[in-house]
Amino acid sequence: MKRLAVYCGSATPADPRYIELAREVGATLAQRGIGVVYGGGRLGLMGAVAGGALDEGGEVIGIIPEALAGSEVANTDCTQLHTVSGMHERKQRFTDLSDGFVTIPGGVGTMDELWEAVSWAQLGYHTKPVGLLNAFGFYDHLIAFNRHMAEVGFVRPAHQGIIVAETTLPALLDRMAAYRPHTPIFRMQASEL
């Protein structure tokens, strides 16, 4: 994996562990020679991921929508900063420029990015690993909900392993590196759907 898209919040939670985690994620990826593709902001967890990677001499590619670039939240320290027309183009660029996705704690926008990466993998728009860093138990309920969707029958057996979840970044990166793509819906027979 040469580059990973990192999905995370632009907020700064009161609990300092989240900012520390984001800096550690960016630094660790850079130390491993993995470039960071992210939302292009300088605030919150986003800024911490970029800062951690840049401090270690890593590549950081920011993808920011025009509406946010003009509001002084763009991180001009990035190795590359791409301004795009909107969120759809931003997420497409994340997919085009990365070899996989790592989701760390975040809010609604982070969830949008995670679920789109999962949905696109399920359909067959990409075959890249979708990692979920469940630090501090932040995603325990989401993991349980994903399991519930599978138990009820809304996630096919072939797609139940799309989300690769771990509590530590090294374990997550190891599992993502070993990820083997599943059979996407676009290649399934009607009887398998």
| Tally of residues, the chain | 193
pLDDT band at 190 (very low <50, low <70, confident <90, very high): confident
Rounded Cα distance between 32 and 1, Å, is 10
pLDDT band at 5 (very low <50, low <70, confident <90, very high): very high
Largest Cα separation within the chain, whole Å, is 52
pLDDT at residue 189 above 80? Answer: no
pLDDT at residue 191 above 90? Answer: no
- For the sheet containing 101-103, what is the strand order? 80-84, 60-65, 35-38, 3-7, 101-103, 130-133, 163-166
pLDDT at residue 193 above 90? Answer: no
Structure tokens at 12: 């700064």
pLDDT band at 9 (very low <50, low <70, confident <90, very high): very high
- Is the Cβ–Cβ distance between 6 and 25 less than 8 Å? yes
Amino acid at 142: L
Q: Specify the pTM.
A: 0.94
DSSP the chain: --EEEEE--SS--SSTHHHHHHHHHHHHHHHTT-EEEE--B-SHHHHHHHHHHHHTT--EEEEEEHHHHTTT-B-TTSSEEEEESSHHHHHHHHHHH-S-EEE-S--HHHHHHHHHHHHHHHHTS----EEEE-GGGTTHHHHHHHHHHHHHTSS-GGGTTSEEEESSHHHHHHHHHT------GGGS-GGG-
Q: What is the mean pLDDT of the chain?
A: 95
Which of the listed CATH numbers 1.20.1250.20, 3.40.50.2000, 3.40.50.450, 3.30.465.10 matches domain 3-192? Answer: 3.40.50.450
